[in-house]
Chain A
Amino acid sequence: MSNILAIANKELRSYFNSPIAYAVIGFFAVAFGFMFWVFLRGFVAESMRMSMNQMGAAGPVNINQMMLRPLVMQISVIVLFMLPMVTMRTYAEEKRSGTIELLLTAPLTDLQIILGKFLGAVGLYSAMLLVTVPSVLVLFAYGNPDWQPVATSYLGLFLLGSSFIAFGLFISSLTQNQIVAGVLTFVLLLMLLLVGWLKDFVTSPAALAAVSAVSVFEHFDDFTKGVLDTKHLAYYVSVITFGLFLTARSVDGERWRG
């Protein structure tokens, strides 16, 4: 465990020693802030209009439904754009610079290295999500949103992003070129997003099941509604495990090929 933490710590520090962490967190904060402002304005205008039209006859407008849920959906797409930048260097850079030799000849198991790198990237991603917390707290200070959908949305974003990171690690382990790793990861994640749209076009139950198994976004939907379903939890845990397993196979295969 201390080995895993040592690697995770090193990964995190190297993010913050380079411009990557600041660029990613900075851009994410700006994008989130802008979207938050746009959605909040829309929500305020809408609720004003509602209260004027109906003279308070209608029930209170739901900030969770009207603002937070669409916001979280947009954020998940931003995350898709950002995380390839986080994971692209994890293995590729170590292979290019030869430091992978240090890790593979240290008394570490492949799994410890992979988990360390995974936790490091998840740590940076958590920092990205933390940046959004103050804005959300503002909503709690001036309004009364339900806290459960907010909490499950964060959990959903966390799991979704962690799945992206697991796939990103795998792709980074395939190449020495971090740009190639970044682009391929982005393409893969985008395909995972688009494949969800097929749902409206396939009819057979088998095909539907296949689409829903591959579409990591579909399982995200319930989290934004405040529903915590073990089915989706298990899904993300399996997806993450699968990504890390592929990484392990790739690292081991590389070793045998030399």
Chain B
Amino acid sequence: MIEVQHLTKQYGRFTAVDDLSFRVDKGEILGFLGPNGAGKTTTMRILTGYMPASAGKAVIAGFDIFDQPLEAKRRIGYLPETPPLYPDMTVRDYLLFVGRIRGVASKALRAQVDTAMEKARVADVATRLCGKLSKGYKQRVGLAQAILHNPEVLILDEPTAGLDPKQIMETRDLIKGLAGSHTIILSTHILPEVSQTCERVVIINKGKVVAVDTPEALTDRIQGSQTIFVQVDAPAGTDVAGALGAVAGVSRVTPVEQRGTLTGFEIDCHKGEDRRRDVARLIVTRDWGLVELRPSRLSLEEIFLQLTTDEAKGAAAPDAAA
């Protein structure tokens, strides 16, 4: 549905996007993850036809964005980083205008505006001026604008930026609900967003793809070792950490939280070794309380840091750059 090949964008001597390639299948949600300045917005602006690439090509729904821009643009809904609202228009008038320039048939226009307002939950502000809306509402009107013409492809640049936690949840649900019938690329620098909404993640840094995978597989790949989280109820003064560290196959024990006699530990095991049984046996035989025991995964946040700040350590990275 979206095919990006060797995309490069240079501003003078600065390379914002460097030989970027990836593809998104129909109905998929792709997370576009990278620190600020990684080239996310530039990539999205190229994909939406806002600016041309210096080299490479992008094909949207079978149409090259550079050679057949109008055909491709008809199939894209785009939410830029700042919602492109006209402050002196009411929400409804604004959406009617967007529908007209996006080529929605005039008969269907009102119905589609109503549908989009309902989906984005902005129907209650339909007659308010865009300029007077709160940040959350502006963002949602921006979203309504993007889905208005029922495009095959949705490109959302930081769709949850500036929203409060409840609105973030709602927006994520909305986006998830749109997958299947729409192909979605969303960019973010907030990590939980990716694991909660996306089926696949492209991590980019300095304009280059660092990794492409599912959030789960990325987690697995990054983990050089297996990590277990245990919470132990032991009398004060007991050297629980020392005892756990003595278990065969355990490389490192880190206390992570303490509440009264309860202590939580992160236990790193050597690669490929699952020491949960041994740890459980130890705790039970010492007559401590085993409150919790679960495999702990590295959060995407850590993966992200590993991938983007320490490339030597992120050993999984190079072969992932397809």
> What is A's interface to B at a CB cutoff of 8 Å?
2-3, 6-7, 9-10, 13-14, 17-18, 97-109, 255-258
Which residue of B87, B88, B101, B145 contacts A3 across the interface (Cβ within 8 Å)?
Answer: B101
Indicate whether A6 sits within 8 Å of B97 (C-beta atoms), given known contacts A105-B76, A258-B9: yes
Residue on B nearest A109 in the bound complex, by CB: B70
Q: Find out whether the CB atom of A107 lies under 8 angstroms from the CB atom of B85.
A: no
Which residue of A13, A104, A258 contacts B49 across the interface (Cβ within 8 Å)?
Answer: A104
How many whole Å from A115's CB to the nearest CB in chain B?
Answer: 13
Q: Find out whether the CB atom of B52 lies under 8 angstroms from the CB atom of A101.
A: no
Residues in chain B near residue A7, CB distance under 8 A? 101
Q: Find out whether the CB atom of B84 lies under 8 angstroms from the CB atom of A102.
A: yes
Q: Find out whether the CB atom of B102 lies under 8 angstroms from the CB atom of A106.
A: yes
Q: Find out whether the CB atom of B82 lies under 8 angstroms from the CB atom of A255.
A: no
Does B100 belong to the interface (CB within 8 Å)? yes
Contact mask for chain B residues 8-35; partner A; CB cutoff 8 A; 1 contact, 0 none: 0101000000000000000000000000
Taken together as a complex, chains A and B put the C-alpha atoms of A256 and B145 apart, in Å, by 26
Taken together as a complex, chains A and B put the C-alpha atoms of A17 and B87 apart, in Å, by 10
> What is B's interface to A at a CB cutoff of 8 Å?
9, 11, 42, 45, 48-52, 69-71, 73-74, 76, 78, 80-82, 84-89, 93, 97-98, 100-103, 145
Indicate whether A97 sits within 8 Å of B48 (C-beta atoms), given known contacts A107-B74, A108-B101: no
Q: Find out whether the CB atom of B89 lies under 8 angstroms from the CB atom of A101.
A: no
Residues in chain A near residue B81, CB distance under 8 A? 98
How many whole Å from A98's CB to the nearest CB in chain B?
Answer: 5
Q: Is the interface of A mostly helix, strand, loop or mixed?
A: helix
Q: Find out whether the CB atom of A105 lies under 8 angstroms from the CB atom of B49.
A: yes
Given A6-B101, A102-B80, A107-B69, 9 other A-B contacts at CB below 8 A?
Answer: A6-B100, A13-B89, A17-B89, A99-B86, A106-B102, A108-B70, A109-B70, A256-B52, A258-B51
Taken together as a complex, chains A and B put the C-alpha atoms of A3 and B86 apart, in Å, by 18
Taken together as a complex, chains A and B put the C-alpha atoms of A100 and B103 apart, in Å, by 18
Residues in chain B near residue A108, CB distance under 8 A? 70, 101
Q: Find out whether the CB atom of B145 lies under 8 angstroms from the CB atom of A102.
A: yes
Residues in chain B near residue A100, CB distance under 8 A? 84
Taken together as a complex, chains A and B put the C-alpha atoms of A97 and B87 apart, in Å, by 9
How many whole Å from B293's CB to the nearest CB in chain A?
Answer: 51
Residues in chain A near residue B87, CB distance under 8 A? 97
Q: Find out whether the CB atom of B73 lies under 8 angstroms from the CB atom of A107.
A: yes
How many whole Å from A89's CB to the nearest CB in chain B?
Answer: 11
Residue on A nearest B87 in the bound complex, by CB: A97
Sample (15) of A-B pairs whose CB atoms are under 8 Å apart: A97-B82, A97-B85, A99-B86, A101-B50, A104-B50, A105-B48, A105-B73, A105-B76, A107-B70, A107-B73, A107-B74, A255-B50, A256-B51, A257-B11, A258-B45
* Complex A-B, nearest 6 residue pairs according to Cβ-Cβ distance, in ascending order: A102-B84, A6-B100, A17-B88, A107-B73, A99-B84, A105-B48
How many whole Å from B112's CB to the nearest CB in chain A?
Answer: 15
Q: Find out whether the CB atom of A102 lies under 8 angstroms from the CB atom of B89.
A: no
Residue on A nearest B74 in the bound complex, by CB: A107
Q: Find out whether the CB atom of A97 lies under 8 angstroms from the CB atom of B84.
A: yes
Q: Find out whether the CB atom of B70 lies under 8 angstroms from the CB atom of A98.
A: no
Taken together as a complex, chains A and B put the C-alpha atoms of A108 and B45 apart, in Å, by 16
How many whole Å from A45's CB to the nearest CB in chain B?
Answer: 47
Residue on B nearest A3 in the bound complex, by CB: B101
Residues in chain B near residue A14, CB distance under 8 A? 86, 88-89
Residue on B nearest A257 in the bound complex, by CB: B11
Taken together as a complex, chains A and B put the C-alpha atoms of A18 and B87 apart, in Å, by 10
How many whole Å from A149's CB to the nearest CB in chain B?
Answer: 40
Q: Find out whether the CB atom of A102 lies under 8 angstroms from the CB atom of B88.
A: no
Taken together as a complex, chains A and B put the C-alpha atoms of A14 and B82 apart, in Å, by 20
Q: Find out whether the CB atom of B50 lies under 8 angstroms from the CB atom of A105.
A: yes
Taken together as a complex, chains A and B put the C-alpha atoms of A106 and B88 apart, in Å, by 20
Residues in chain A near residue B85, CB distance under 8 A? 97, 99
Which residue of A101, A103, A256, A257 contacts B101 across the interface (Cβ within 8 Å)?
Answer: A103
Residues in chain B near residue A2, CB distance under 8 A? 100
Taken together as a complex, chains A and B put the C-alpha atoms of A105 and B145 apart, in Å, by 12
Taken together as a complex, chains A and B put the C-alpha atoms of A148 and B93 apart, in Å, by 42
Residues in chain B near residue A256, CB distance under 8 A? 51-52
Residues in chain B near residue A109, CB distance under 8 A? 70
How many whole Å from A63's CB to the nearest CB in chain B?
Answer: 43
